Structure 1
Amino acid sequence: MVKHHALLAGVMLPALAAATAMPAHAARIADPAQADVAAQTDESAAAPADDIVVTAVARGQNRLDATVATSALSGAALIDLAPRSAAEAFRQIPGIRAEASGGEGNANIAVRGLPVASGGAKFLQLQEDGLPVLEFGDITFGNADIFVRTDFNIARIEAVRGGSASTFASNSPGGVINFISKTGEQEGGAIQTTLGLDYEEYRVDFDYGAPIGKDWSFHVGGFYRQGEGPRRLGYDGLKGGQIKLNLTRKFEGGYIRFFGKYLDDRAVGYLPNPVRVTGTDADPTYTSLPGFSINGDSLHSRGFLQALSLNGQNVAQRFDVTDGMRPLVKAFGFETSIDVDDDWTLVNRFRFSDVSGGFTSPFPASVGTAGAIATELGGAGATARFATGPNAGQAVPAGTLVARVVLFNTRLNSLDNITNDLRLTRDLTIGGGEGAVTFGFYKSRQDIATDWLWTSHLLEVRGGGNAGLIDIRTTGGAAVTDGGTVAYGASFFGGCCRRVYDLSYDTNAPFASLNMRFGKLSVDGALRYDFGRARGTTFGADLGGGRVGTRPVDVDGNGTISTAEQLTSVVPLGSPAPVDYNYDYLSYSLGLNYRLADTLALFASYARGGRANADRLLFNDNNVSTTTGALRNPALAVDFVRQLEGGVKYRDGGTQLYATLFHARTEEQNFEATTQRLFDRSYRAWGLELEGSIRRGGFTLSAGATYTDAEITRDAVNPAVAGNRPRRQADFIYQATAQYETDRFALGANMVGTTDSYAQDDNRLKLPGFTQVNAFARFTPVPRVTLSVNANNLFDVNGFTEAEEASIPADGIVRARSINGRTVSAAVRFDF
């Protein structure tokens, strides 16, 4: 700890001494809410509201002066586009690859060429009002996007890619996406009722904010919705909502804002489903199976609503499958900005989030016919009968497709997060240039306390929410399964993964930055030193050392041990494995921006940032000792990303154009729960990112495209894939929105697309490219009343974001995840 303090002093004290000796004149924007009404620079081309960047920078600044690539998506655009999840909103941001096929959460998200080796958003941080939703974006079954919602509270979503994202946030070397809330600076609100026209969802959104007297303002908003959702499940897969509020007090020289959030929701999590694939790996054709639509159905069913298993204390418990992704978040905090004197400004953000819930969803380990599976499990002459569903008790035809399902039943006991970000900024003048120096200290503590309670089942492949669980009996009539349960453990995954995590991760990071402007030239540089520790215990047979994971248990308590109960996974609670190690790393960024004219700028930046590996590093004795908890190799603790980018920015009236060339090198150690595969790799990516918009009268066109050439340059586990393109990485991703608007009505269309990619890293089976088209229309018959219709995936295309198989199997059935099919909603909104 002494060396940490010494380094902090060594970095900060010389700069502090220099800064205090200099006068200051630079303008200040500390409050993100004020970015909508002011620009930091005084150029003649006034900046639109969404061109003031406040994310991952020392201070709000004009987008034309930023030395990194930035984008913003307004709250009004979100209302028109009506994304069905946060990931669908992210697809509108250039450079962001969001695989929006998991439902309300559980999306894989990456930034221009950085890999998604397992799941979640490893190198990207999701924030709400400048603080992380979770410290790590890829906690297994606890991805950060599960715990955020898009609603009327959002003023805009900002995205920063590369550059200062490495040095103004921990564990985010790829970039930061920040949900910025309304704060009631202007009085007004709305209430909207939305109805699914061709799917079942009923939703109410509301918000209201206003100044209170001279110095106070507030904002409150939220939503509640219920319904089956965009796929046919046979039950309400969506049920819940959230409420957020904030209260701001302004005073001379600053402000203080208090905020709170309560999210209590249930949202189905869509995992890969069976689909038929014909043709060749290089030119495949994906078609839905008879009676099962790949973009409109799911293996969720009214015939599979509950599951019996042992809990994390090895006590039998019945779990509700309909909970799906169940985020429960109770958060509160404050943000303050104080002008300490004429030169110094102190900004502090604090939040505590009580986060818990669960993740429950069926994953098809494989698919076969009922006859073959009956023989496999029960021997020759074994029979299959429906245990649940509309055909309960009837024999299952031998050719019926059946999924061997592992139910991912994970309890999120605690993902609590406490974060504080303190910054002290001084305006200064150096050699005729104006700027600011910032010193800060970041502190967070992230809990990861989860129980993995997986079980194995046989489930009919049938759509409409009508699939039934299937029982197998031997030729002599002996039961092989219990009401469709094959094992009270993950027998289809070799009995693995009955786990308990009880961990905490402390992250500390002093940081410093210098931002200067010398006429047309802007220069900024920053350092960040992260040091942290991982402490806790893990339990599981996967840890080895004689830990027993499967034994006979009378799970249902009927006094006998069935065949399925012979295969009961237990947690070896008497044999914990410690987790006890420290880590540290240095991140840095340097950026330049040159204003060729009021409307035109060139920029370049280079950054090295790190991402501390969290829970995915564990349950591997080659990584972490199961006896001491120490790292086998300290280098395993952190993966580094190095990014170089440069480009041009142009904005003149209603025309904007941004072009960025980028190059990135990435290290990756990871573990994937579904395939039980370890990753130890390096990657290289380069490409071009384009973003632009044009406004002429009532017509607006905005578009973006990213070309990426990515390669696996090294693989310590599977050297054969070196030189291949990373899985699911397309050459092009793109988006565009065209809209025509008058005072009374608006019409618009949006498209999001991708070219082909490979399902796996061996580069055999392709995932076809696709273009999804969305459309919207709104009409205001009288002031303050708006009627609207929104169509998501208007042409009902299949868009595959991932597949488990590396090649077309002999039976032609691949397990893949597609975007949702067409959903059309209508809404009535009243503004006040």
Structure 2
Amino acid sequence: MTIRGLASATALVLLASTSSAALAQSDAGDTAAADTAAQGDEIVVTGRAGAGDRTRVETSYAITSIDNDTLRSRAPSSVTEALKSVPGFWVEASGGEGSGNVRARGIPVDGFGSITLLENGLPVQHDPSLGYLNADQAFRIDESIERVEVVRGGPSSIFYSNAPGGAVNFITRQAKDELTGVARILYGPTADLFRFDGWVGAPLGNGWSFGVGGYYRKEDGVRDPGFAGNQGGQVRADLNYDFGDGRITLGYKKIDDSTIFYTGIPLTKDRKGNIVGLPGFDPHYGTTASRATAFLTLRDANGPVRFDNADGTDVNLDQFSLLAEWELAPGWKLSNRARYRDSLTVRNGVYPASISTATAFLNQNRASLLAAFPGAASVQLRYSDTGEAFDVAGQNGNGDVFINAARPVTVDESEFLNDLRLAHSFDIGGMTHDVSIGFYYARIEETFQRYSASTLQDVSDNSRLLDLVALNGAGQVVGSATENGVVRYGSEFANGSGTQDTFALYAADEWQVMPGLRIDAGVRWETVKTRGAQEGSKTVDLGNAATLADNSVLTGNGIFTPFDQKFDKVGYTIGADWQFAPRAGVFARYTSAFRLPSVGSFITSATAVPRTQGIDLWEAGLKYQSRFASVYLTGFLTDFNSYGIGNTKFDPVTNGYVSQTIYTDTRAYGVEFEGTVRPTSWFDFTLNATWQDPTFRNLRYDELATVDGQPTLVPRDYSGNQLIRVPKMTLRATPAVTLLGDRLRAQVDVEHNAKRFADAANISKLPAYTVLNASVRFNLTDQITLWAYGDNLTNELGLTEGNPRAGELTSGQANDLLFIGRPIVGRNVRFAVDFRF
């Protein structure tokens, strides 16, 4: 049975179990739990490895806790959406449920290169930022998640690999002493969304218990591509054994899920310079994805290439976990976390590369097309499916055309992870030490394949394919620049495979000098050895004389260049925490963190010379918790060394790509604020905000440009410019009211993001924007809760990124009236009903 069938069957079982439940958690229990959380008494398990317990208000680093109720109040559609309330993080979730971007404390790398994702303390994916395989593609949030702990900076890089800017730990539900369960049905009319989530846990006797949960959903998408953009689900099952002094958990997770990846869309500017949509393309709900480009058979030297954009990012993953902890003796704790996973990810997407008026496109290509076909007298744009002529003056109300990339990428990846820790807490000289040592091992095997074909499309919602043809004097077709809408087959090629072994040793000590003062320190040594091979490429002509589309096809040349590289580095941290009052304290910390190259650094370029990234992080903070208010204020400074900007530009002449990498250093300093006030029992107000100054420190290089028709090296100096896509100010303000004895709760989220830039030159501006979201909860009974959600209620056109394929050093579209960008989705609503027992 497939995951879709299994998830559907599981949904029926969970819903039946929920409907027959006789017991419910009491309101008093919920209120008590809320009070405990408000007072900062929750036990922190992320960013430390000691034998004793530590509460949030006692930690010597910045940490954000997101409980299940908070997750429900916003119903985030993705991992990145769930992290929007974390100060210090710039979160970009406009691409859909997967492949988001998170930048922590000004670390300017894409994807999840600055933080790591954890599942019950063990990485979701050892390297969370493999090329075309972010960790959020291999993880889904559902009702199995009990809470999320987010460490910002701090000691995260000591206890986890690839976590220089922080760690996000998703902690799953555990079965209790009696049968318990939750279920949720979610419906979204805007996106034609239907989703079921559920979880059930129960004791089995003699220390044994189990938990099973997951989700299944089908959704066209707020940006409807004309087919189901998101479809599939996840099943998670855990078997637990509690033997008094310890606990063992055996876990299995299956993901079989397809999600659409929203790429950039066409945009323009009005007379005032404001960014607006083009006629014929709705910037709030439109997408270039369509049925016309959903199923393509593309050509390659080795045969046809199947492109199925209806699968989007298709993830098929099996994961097995063994988590064990044992209190060997009073003050001694041994734990071991092991996980094996095997995944096959096929990532299909249509990526806009350039946009122009049809007139400009014809002028650019007319001479070469006429020269290629003797007897040709004129050129014409026409639709590939019907042969209808394209109106260059005003087709779709705009008369514009795209060059896009239909790109299927296949990543076959498996990994084994093991983290062994021993912790001992002891007293000496009237002081307490909580010492831990650990050994971490990771084995990764990866195969990577990429192919692209450049397509010619009109600018419309659910864009259609175009052909550029050459006509003789009688109006007959004598040749074509395209074939079935493809302007160049094989515009990109990559084929490589490799393995990686990572070993790490780490140690930490939490030294309680006196009742109110503690000093924490830790060190990590890590080494990476990676080996494999990458196939070179060649350009071939596939021989169809009637078209130019197959004249320059990149394909493998059969020559594999091996790579065998080894890297190692030592990082360390030292911090101090002073609790000057029972629920108030201050802390300060310095961390020397790093990020080593991985197999993904070489799998598409065996001769690459990547650098170990070094990061210096300084932070200091104030913490205060009470029943009526909580305040966490943290100042930080981040120096990031050896930041490589991968500058990839689309060349409209060759319909291919030109790449270069420039290394520089960056600096970001700022302040994070996280606070809640509860002046009455019926009103609370939460504010999460970050102000920072993120800049390049020494970005100087020579750029190849065309000056007076000649290739020329032009010196560039962008030192002091604002980092790419990192805003100086972000905030989320949430006023909320709770009425009718906690039966009714309504809240509003006001999100503001200051201006950013799409390039290092700071000439391609991404304007500031503000988004308004809201949710309402009503407890119909103790077991049934109704929800309503409204996202982007003002239909804001918030631009999160420009066109990376126009260049991220100096954008080639900065001053263009027509350009490509990726905004957030338009106004949409969702409704949910929860059942619990």
User: Which of the five TM-score ranges fits, normalised by the shorter chain?
Assistant: 0.7 to 0.9
**Alignment counterpart, residue 588 of structure 1, candidates 572, 590, 597:** 572
The answer as to 2:503 corresponding to 1:508 is yes
Distance 1:826 1:93 in 2: 25
Contact 1:680 1:716 in 2 (8 A): no
Alignment identity in percent?
Answer: 29
Counterpart of 1:745 in structure 2: which amino acid?
Answer: L
Who is 2:719 aligned against?
Answer: 722
In the alignment, structure 1 segments of 5+ residues that lack a partner are: 1-36, 38-43, 491-496, 542-547, 626-630
Q: Hey, what does 1:28 align to over in structure 2?
A: none
Please name the residue that 1:215 is paired with: 207
Where do residues 386-785 of structure 1 align in structure 2 (5 Å cutoff)?
Answer: 386-388=383-385, 392-399=386-393, 400-412=399-411, 414-463=412-461, 465=462, 467-476=463-472, 477=477, 478-490=479-491, 497-517=492-512, 518-541=514-537, 548=538, 550-553=539-542, 562-572=547-557, 574-614=558-598, 617-618=601-602, 625=607, 636-670=610-644, 672=646, 674-675=648-649, 676-695=659-678, 696-715=680-699, 717=701, 720-741=717-738, 742-785=741-784
Contact 2:41–2:57 (CA<8 Å) still a contact in 1?
A: no
Distance 1:537 1:284 in 2: 49
Partner Cα distance (1:228, 1:45) in 2:
41
SS at match of 1:565: coil
Deviation at 1:560, TM superposition (A): 7.0
Separation (CA, whole Å) in 2 of partners of 1:536 and 1:162 = 33
How big is each residue's C-alpha offset from its partner over 1:476-524, in whole Å with a ceiling of 9 and x where there is no partner? 312321110111122xxxxxx3011202221110111111212101111
Tell me the distance in 1 between the aligned counterparts of 2:700 and 2:297.
40
Task: Give the Cα–Cα distance (whole angstroms) in 1 for the partners of residues 644 and 444 of structure 2.
Answer: 19
The one-letter amino acid paired with 1:734 is L
Given that 2:494 and 2:604 are in contact with CA atoms closer than 8 Å, whether structure 1 keeps it comes out as no
Unpaired segments of 5 or more residues in structure 2? 1-28, 30-34, 371-376, 394-398, 650-658, 703-715
Contact in 2 for aligned 1:552/1:561 (Cα 8 Å): no
- Given the two structures, how large is their TM-score scaled by the length of structure 2? 0.86
The answer for the alignment partner of 1:298 in structure 2 is 287
State yes or no: 1:193 paired with 2:185.
yes
Partners of 1:208 and 1:816 lie apart in 2 by 43
Rounded to whole Å, the distance in 1 between the matches of 2:434 and 2:299 is 57
What is the CA distance between 1:686 and its match in structure 2?
Answer: 0.7
C-alpha displacement of 1:428: 1.2
- Partner of 2:480, secondary structure, is coil
SS at match of 2:352: strand
Match of 2:236 in 1: 244
Report the AA paired with residue 645 of structure 1. Answer: E
1:286 maps to amino acid: I
CA distance in structure 2 between the aligned counterparts of 1:373 and 1:716, rounded to whole angstroms:
34
Amino acid at match of 2:510: N
Tell whether the 8 Å contact from 2:39 to 2:627 is kept in structure 1 after alignment.
no
> C-alpha displacement at 1:619, in angstroms?
7.8
1:161 to 152, 155, 158: 152
Q: CA deviation at 1:620?
A: 8.9
Q: What are the within-5 Å matches in structure 2 for residues 130-149 of structure 1?
A: 130-149=121-140
State how far apart, in whole Å, the 2-side matches of 1:374 and 1:228 are: 35
> SS at the partner of 1:298?
coil
Deviation at 1:168, TM superposition (A): 0.6
Aligned-residue offset at 1:84: 2.1
Deviates more, 1:365-374 or 1:437-446: 365-374
- Give the TM-score normalised by the residue count of structure 1: 0.87
1:595 and 1:277, CA in 2 relative to 1: closer, same or farther beyond 3 A?
same
In 2, the alpha carbon distance for the partners of 1:618 and 1:113 equals 26
CA shift for structure 1 position 809: 5.5
User: Is the CA contact 2:312–2:349 (under 8 Å) kept in the aligned structure 1?
Assistant: yes
1:508–1:154: structure 2 CA closer, same or farther, 3 Å change rule? same
**Structure 1 residue 345 corresponds to structure 2 residue 322:** no
Report the secondary structure of 2:551's partner residue. Answer: helix
User: Deviation of residue 107 (structure 1)?
Assistant: 1.2
Partner of 2:256: 264
Provide the residue aligned with 1:796 in structure 2. 795
Amino acid at match of 1:539: E
> Deviations 1:598-619 (Å, cap 9, x if unpaired)?
0110101110111012356448
* AA matched with 1:258: L
Alpha-carbon distance in 1 for matches of 2:102, 2:631:
25
**Bigger mean CA offset, 71-80 vs 596-605:** 71-80
Q: Partner amino acid for 2:142?
A: D
Partner of 1:819: 824
Give, in angstroms, the shift of residue 561 of structure 1.
7.0
| AA of the residue aligned to 2:690 | T
Structure 2 residue identity aligned to 1:712: F
Classify 1:284/1:217 alpha carbon distance in 2 versus 1 (closer, same or farther; 3 Å): farther
Find the residue that maps to 2:220 and give its secondary structure.
strand
Match of 1:93 in 2: 86
Q: Write the letter of the residue equivalent to 1:831.
A: R
Give 1:325 deviation, angstroms.
1.4
Find the aligned partners of 1:208 and 1:45 in 2 and give their Cα distance: 25
Q: CA deviation at 1:324?
A: 1.1
Equivalent residue of 1:474, what SS? strand
- 2:266/2:820 contact within 8 Å kept: yes
- Given that residues 449 and 494 in structure 2 are in contact (C-alpha distance below 8 angstroms), is that contact kept between their aligned partners in structure 1? yes
Q: 1:355 aligns with which of 339, 343, 346?
A: 343
2:4 maps to none
CA contact (8 A) 1:284 1:765 kept: no
> In the alignment, residue 587 of structure 1 is paired with which amino acid?
G
Aligned to 2:166: 175
Are the counterparts in 1 of residues 596 and 612 from structure 2 also a CA contact under 8 Å? yes
Contact 1:278/1:812, CA 8 A, preserved across alignment: no
Shift of 1:45: 9.0
